[in-house]
Amino acid sequence: MPVTRRQQRPVRSRQRGYTLLEILVAAIILTGGLIGLASMQASGTRLNNSAYLRTQASILAYDIADRMRANRAAVVANSYDIALTDATPGSPTTVADIDLVQWRNALAYYLPAGNGSIETVAGATPDAPQRATITVQWNDGRAAADVIDFALTTDL
């Protein structure tokens, strides 16, 4: 008797549609990851801008401190003292007034809502160092409540 071969039919998979479901799940996971990445990027940009503004405030505070060291006679005469609420000198005639006008203009240019104050305390003798507290103030965010103060206290 001749041996007959049975023809084998391909087995049909009963798992139909799972590939599409796997792609959908992968797309959802990828979307969640991309949203998280975008959030981290936005947060990093905001914090980088905040660090930049703080650096600018530090540079500008040291700038006026160096100007005051160069004009010690005006420091002893309290010519550099200015409060946050005081207006910038309108028509500067002295070196101290010119320094204050340039400093306040730089604060307004480099910092959002930038402003500054200087308070000096006399030393025990005219030759003793003057102590100056330089305060730089700016708005660090989009809300009015995000006002930041940077204070530098130094001997001149």
CB-count burial class (<10 Å; 0-12, 13-18, 19+) for 152: middle
Question: Of all residues in the chain, what percent carry a pLDDT higher than 70?
Answer: 86
Q: Is 27 a member of any domain?
A: yes
Q: Is 10 a member of any domain?
A: no
| Band of pLDDT at residue 43, cut at 50, 70 and 90 | confident
Number of independent structural domains in the chain: 1
Q: Is 6 a member of any domain?
A: no
- Mean pLDDT across 34-42: 94
Q: Is 13 a member of any domain?
A: no
Q: Is 94 a member of any domain?
A: yes
pLDDT at position 45, please?
Answer: 87
Distance (Å, whole) CA 100 – CA 63: 11
Domain that holds residue 68: 18-155
Distance (Å, whole) CA 99 – CA 156: 16
